[in-house]
Structure 1
Amino acid sequence: MVNKLASMLLGMLFYRAPYLSFSSEEIEVFENIYAEAASSHSEIGYDCRFPKYRFLQYISETKPVILHGSNNKSILEFETRRQTLFNGQYVEAVFATKDGIWPVFYAVFDRSKLSGNFRNACLNVRNDKHTYYFFSLTPETKMKNPWQDGMVYLLPQESFENVSDSIVFFDEWVSKTPVKPIAKIAVTPQDFYFINKVSRHKATESIMATWFLYKLRTRVGKFTKK
């Protein structure tokens, strides 16, 4: 019952991931792309008609890989860094996700243009097949057109663990040891599925206000101009 209520609330506040059903053609193409990249540990030459987020989601679901998005296109090995988990706890680790959309945001969001703060989430509920997202930047950041091309790295999953046992949790995984990529794929802002669903919030606004106003701000023009 608690799980259902949590799913209902997240569905009201945030956007759900698109439902993905992969055709036999997609599966064949994605398997070939992954096999070639994994065998050579190289950048993926993605030359097919299917959106990249679909490829990333398929690979994360079917292969022992985990994803990390970055503005840096030349990372040879990910070192652990002191960072905070979703619950504010500090950990020395490499962060990544099993989600195919969330890392694209981190790849194409130009952090050098950040003013104030940014807020985002990729949330799951236990026993719920849906994933829920929100993305919000300050008006000062959005005015700078903070988007650029980036890279999503495919990392081996074996050293990663999911760090939450809550009913509602971030799709956030950590490795406490350095990790070398299996492969990488270049992405552009147009590859970010929710590029048109990025809201605005004042830096001093409470996180609860950002959550409750998120969908309204992405649907009604006058709210996005605050």
Structure 2
Amino acid sequence: MAAGGWTHTGLAMTVGVDPKSVERWVNLGRTPRRATAVQAAKALGEDVYALWPQLRQPRAARAVSPELVAFYDQRADLPVSTLTDLFAQARERIDVLVYAAVFLHEAYPRLNDPLRERAAAGCTVRVALGEADSPNVRQRGREEAFGHGIESRCRLAAMHFRPLVGVTGIGVRTHSTTLYNSLYRSDDQVVVNAHVWGVNAYASPLWQLRRGGDGGLFDTYATSFDAVWATATPLPEV
């Protein structure tokens, strides 16, 4: 809205709603009705799912878990900006558990800068990457018909994140565990990329959770991350 010079009133008139509704979208994170959201996104020149990823969620999803915010058929459907925006909003914790996830730095080459800024503001940042020479990483390459490419991507990921080694508040480690899910956590939200045998991560399903209370689905993944982190080895500076 700021980039296009839109006011709350102007956008409200364009899509046929009350200006207070637009204020709620902006200030309270409310999600408009689907038809209204499509109109607003068209007016703004943005992707409707980038603005309101909740609209991808099946109607029955909340009956399954109240913690489920959004569901995507495959990771490629998720705008990378959703992850970087979550990281930028973090106040207490950012956790990343992957084998490589080089798509993050490919889309945002300066990704390390906001991570440094969050750490300087008191946020704890932990990044766990796959150990390129581990049997589990090599096995994943064979399962996905990726061959040695996955090992190369793990080394590339380590190169991308290595400048963060030694930065106060940031930990970068490598792990050798079987990666059942890639995790991207920002405070009380986590994006989970499930892994499917024989399918590359970008084509595997993904869901976003918001913590709803002790012992919920969010806590299951948070505990899993902590368990992997405890086995991981700090990435050397060189």
The TM-score bracket by the shorter chain reads under 0.3
More strand by share: 1
Q: TM-score, normalised by structure 1?
A: 0.25
More helix by share: 2
The structure, 1 or 2, with the larger RCO (C-alpha pairs under 8 Å, 6+ apart) is 1
Q: TM-score, normalised by structure 2?
A: 0.24
